[in-house]
Chain A
Amino acid sequence: MSQSIEKDVRDFILENFLFGDESRMPDVTESLLEADLIDSTGILELVAYLEQHFGLAIADAEIVPANLDSIASICAFVTAKSKAPAKLVAA
């Protein structure tokens, strides 16, 4: 997992979903949904951030918990997308 990607994702979560409360930062594999950190609008905010910040194009079919529901899965998804932008990784 790229440390830079992870840091950026953590910063985004801290600012947008935790409103600065670092004590609630989830473990890397913890479900953001289960931790009550994200809702349907939050998913769209996350997708918009990933597209803008990492220059990705994320297809509807990729907006699934398998790709976006933990820090680890987000980082893996971003890494894979960055390496193979032409081949979308659908869950």
Chain B
Amino acid sequence: MCGIAGYFGDIRKVGDARTILRRMNAAIGHRGPDERDIHVGKGTGLAHTRLSIVGLSDGQQPMANPDGTVWISFNGEVFNYVELRNELIAKGRHFRTGSDTEVILQLYDEMGIDCVDRLNGDFAFAIWDEKRQQMMLARDRMGVRPLFHTMHKGVLFFASEVKALLTVPGIGAAMDPIALDQIFTLWAPIAPRTPFKGISELPPAYRMMIDKRGSEVEPYWRLSFPDRDERLPPRHEAQVAEELRALLEDATRIRLRADVPVGAYLSGGLDSSIVSAMAQRQVKDRLRTFSVTFDSPEHDESAQQQEMVAALGTQHSAIACRDGDIARIFPDVVRATERPVIRTAPAPLYLLSDLVRKEGFKVVLTGEGADEVFAGYDIFKEAMVRRFCARQPGSRIRPHLFRKLYPYLPGLKQQSPDYLAAFFGTGLDRVDDPLFSHGPRLRGTAAAKMFYSGELRAQLQGYDAAAELAANLPPEFPRWHPLHQAQYLETAFLLPGYILSSQGDRMAMAHGVEGRFPFLDHRLVEFAARIPASMKLKGLTEKHILREATRDLLPASIARRTKQPYRAPDSQSFSGEAAPAYVSAALAPNTVADCGLFNPRAVAKLYDKCRRQGISGFRDNAAFIGVLSSQLWCHAFAAGGTIPASHAA
């Protein structure tokens, strides 16, 4: 796990190659504090900043093949590198190192660009093939590791984080209004778009080939589900559970491969508990586990964490996210996410990775991905209940089910069935709409657009982010089961665009920590996609088949626990007397006007409401965090909207 950067093209038009590569490396030094190096070739350059995890003494990068004609700069892990290495040795190949990096190099030599098909891992890499005069960029299937690129003066620059690209002379940051609108609708930009105008990301499961003729981007893998009318061979639940268990155990086993100790996040929820339990069974020593706790009871899961720690006997450390912490670190969090966010949920994970690193760990397993792969999120149940209501639109009984879905939302508890029906009734007459499952969420998030400035509205010219998302769906999407459609939307868009990036890679790597996700092993993802929807969401029990497959691993109270979504205190973190001064500065009318994205008067009233009475609803919170993080983004990356230095954290 590391940071990578590089270029392809005539760098002399831009500056000195070595200086540029070193600057790019320095900007992402947090991703790889252990070693740093560059390679400059003819018309190409690679940079690498290393977090040493596998092949500690011989895995330096950029790495070349024996005759120096193929070079690689690689971020991430190939978890099946042991098996691939053995296969290649059986074919007569010799290895100079014990690293997974060399396995990719040799596999590339063996298979060319199709080598990615054989990799089971979380990776982003660049391979420069001197003989073919061709550069290949590739990114893992689920989008765990990032890779951004931009064309400047005819030179293609790429890097693990945008901040490295911004060190290149002449490359600047300006907000892409479409990306901002996508965040204010979908919570994340639709790849390849990023919030930085002119800077793209390589989408998950894509590779990019670059040579003197130009570049070509193509997918090498795609998430897919069976047609809802497809006759699948009947399978007993017990058999499916058994296969799932075997796959998950293997996914965990290969993710424990490292030359440094591997720990685990333990939130107290089902997914991280399963991963920790499996890992504890496979490691010799007591597993080290880590968690975050909250002052506010509605967010805190300490009791469940302690129950799991006692049950597994792990050696546990927790970091308390106290009332003022989120506001204190939020500017750093936005600098790390490199994109506006509409929730503060990344912030506690920033604190958590700091704890992990200080405790001497570089690698953690997490339960991320289970909710997407096995249908754990409330939005899946919500969509199911909305379809149930759509069949009897006048029913006053059916809307009561919505209250059962969100017991942790006080605003819903007190609502009448009529209002519940009205809130969740969005699009009930359009059950065939591809975005049906996400209708209420999209609508609730988009309400924050009322804070847009006239200038931003003019730039958007009526742009419709939801329509673009719908247009990006695969042609076979309408033939999938409704649950699978909803799973696809979460897995293909929100997972890489927000969960794995803003809450995942960027928060962990800010402190040089690598997250590993057994539930996102592509073998498990493909297997789960073909599990009947009714085994994943059984009635209103989420992740049913996963619970069945792992029931012997956990205390009954954890195994039966209903999904508790990971949330953090939002706007309330920024109100009160202890709020840092930068908040007022970032939301001051002149700062907002300078930035040009939002209506200063409306923002002032929102901030006033926050300070006066606190805001507890989703839409006002999303608006507040979205506006504040956008302002901080402008301050951190773009000219304009500068927060006075004395106030900036």
Contact-residue bracket for chain A: 20 to 34
Interface string of B575-604 (1 = CB under 8 A from A): 000000000000000000000000101110
A33 and B599 CA atoms in complex are apart in Å by: 23
- A2 to nearest B CB, angstroms? 25
For residue A1, CB closer than 8 A to chain B, the reply is no
Q: Are A65 and B418 touching (Cβ within 8 A)?
A: yes
Interface string of B397-434 (1 = CB under 8 A from A): 00000000000010110111011001100000000000
Q: Are A20 and B419 touching (Cβ within 8 A)?
A: no
For residue A88, CB closer than 8 A to chain B, the reply is no
| Contact status of A64 and B617, CB under 8 A, knowing A20-B601, A21-B599, A33-B423 | no
- B450 neighbours in A (Cβ, 8 Å): 18-19, 21, 24
- B447 neighbours in A (Cβ, 8 Å): 36, 39
- B9 to nearest A CB, angstroms? 47
Q: Are B617 and A39 touching (Cβ within 8 A)?
A: yes
For residue B609, CB closer than 8 A to chain A, the reply is yes
Q: Are B617 and A60 touching (Cβ within 8 A)?
A: no
A66 and B416 CA atoms in complex are apart in Å by: 11
- B620 — nearest CB in chain A belongs to which residue? A41
A66 and B620 CA atoms in complex are apart in Å by: 24
A65 and B418 CA atoms in complex are apart in Å by: 7
For residue A84, CB closer than 8 A to chain B, the reply is no
Partner of B416, one of A16, A44, A61: A61
Q: Are A64 and B416 touching (Cβ within 8 A)?
A: yes
A43 and B616 CA atoms in complex are apart in Å by: 12
A41 and B444 CA atoms in complex are apart in Å by: 12
- A36 neighbours in B (Cβ, 8 Å): 443, 446-447
Q: Are A19 and B416 touching (Cβ within 8 A)?
A: no
| Contact status of A40 and B451, CB under 8 A, knowing A15-B605, A16-B609, A21-B602 | no
- B419 neighbours in A (Cβ, 8 Å): 40, 43, 63-65
A18 and B609 CA atoms in complex are apart in Å by: 12
Interface string of A18-39 (1 = CB under 8 A from B): 1111001000000001001001
Q: Are B422 and A63 touching (Cβ within 8 A)?
A: no
For residue A91, CB closer than 8 A to chain B, the reply is yes
For residue B18, CB closer than 8 A to chain A, the reply is no
Interface string of B443-455 (1 = CB under 8 A from A): 1101100110000
- A21 neighbours in B (Cβ, 8 Å): 450, 599, 602
- B447 to nearest A CB, angstroms? 5
- B447 — nearest CB in chain A belongs to which residue? A36
Residue among A42, A44, A69 with max Cβ neighbours from chain B (10 Å): A44
Docked complex: B437-491 residues within 8 A CB-CB of A: 443-444, 446-447, 450-451
Q: Are B602 and A41 touching (Cβ within 8 A)?
A: no
- A69 to nearest B CB, angstroms? 7
- B473 to nearest A CB, angstroms? 24
For residue B606, CB closer than 8 A to chain A, the reply is yes
- B53 to nearest A CB, angstroms? 45
A24 and B599 CA atoms in complex are apart in Å by: 14
A interface SS class: helix
A43 and B415 CA atoms in complex are apart in Å by: 9
A44 and B413 CA atoms in complex are apart in Å by: 11
Q: Are A41 and B411 touching (Cβ within 8 A)?
A: yes
Interface string of B300-316 (1 = CB under 8 A from A): 00000000000000000
- A15 neighbours in B (Cβ, 8 Å): 605
A24 and B451 CA atoms in complex are apart in Å by: 12
A20 and B604 CA atoms in complex are apart in Å by: 10
- B108 neighbours in A (Cβ, 8 Å): none
A44 and B416 CA atoms in complex are apart in Å by: 12
| Contact status of A65 and B616, CB under 8 A, knowing A20-B601, A39-B444, A44-B411 | no
Q: Are A40 and B602 touching (Cβ within 8 A)?
A: no
- A17 to nearest B CB, angstroms? 9
- A21 to nearest B CB, angstroms? 6
- A69 — nearest CB in chain B belongs to which residue? B422
- A31 — nearest CB in chain B belongs to which residue? B422
For residue B619, CB closer than 8 A to chain A, the reply is yes
- B599 neighbours in A (Cβ, 8 Å): 19, 21
- B603 neighbours in A (Cβ, 8 Å): 19
Interface string of A41-56 (1 = CB under 8 A from B): 1111100000000000
Partner of B412, one of A20, A40, A60: A40
Q: Are B414 and A63 touching (Cβ within 8 A)?
A: yes
A3 and B447 CA atoms in complex are apart in Å by: 29
- A64 to nearest B CB, angstroms? 4
A19 and B450 CA atoms in complex are apart in Å by: 9
For residue B618, CB closer than 8 A to chain A, the reply is yes
- B609 neighbours in A (Cβ, 8 Å): 16, 19
Q: Are A19 and B606 touching (Cβ within 8 A)?
A: yes
Q: Are B416 and A42 touching (Cβ within 8 A)?
A: no
- A91 neighbours in B (Cβ, 8 Å): 418
- A15 to nearest B CB, angstroms? 7
- A33 neighbours in B (Cβ, 8 Å): 422-423
Interface residues of chain A, those whose CB is within 8 Å of chain B, are: 15-16, 18-21, 24, 33, 36, 39-45, 60-61, 63-66, 69, 91
| Pairs A-B, 3 closest by C-beta atoms | A41-B617, A40-B411, A19-B602
- The 17 sampled A-B contact pairs (Cβ below 8 Å) are A16-B609, A21-B450, A36-B443, A39-B617, A40-B409, A41-B411, A41-B616, A41-B620, A42-B619, A43-B419, A44-B414, A45-B617, A63-B415, A65-B418, A65-B419, A66-B418, A69-B422
Interface residues of chain B, those whose CB is within 8 Å of chain A, are: 409, 411-412, 414-416, 418-419, 422-423, 443-444, 446-447, 450-451, 599, 601-603, 605-606, 609, 615-620
Known: A19-B599, A33-B423. 12 other contacts (CB 8 A): A20-B602, A36-B443, A36-B446, A39-B411, A39-B444, A39-B447, A39-B618, A40-B419, A41-B617, A42-B617, A42-B619, A64-B418
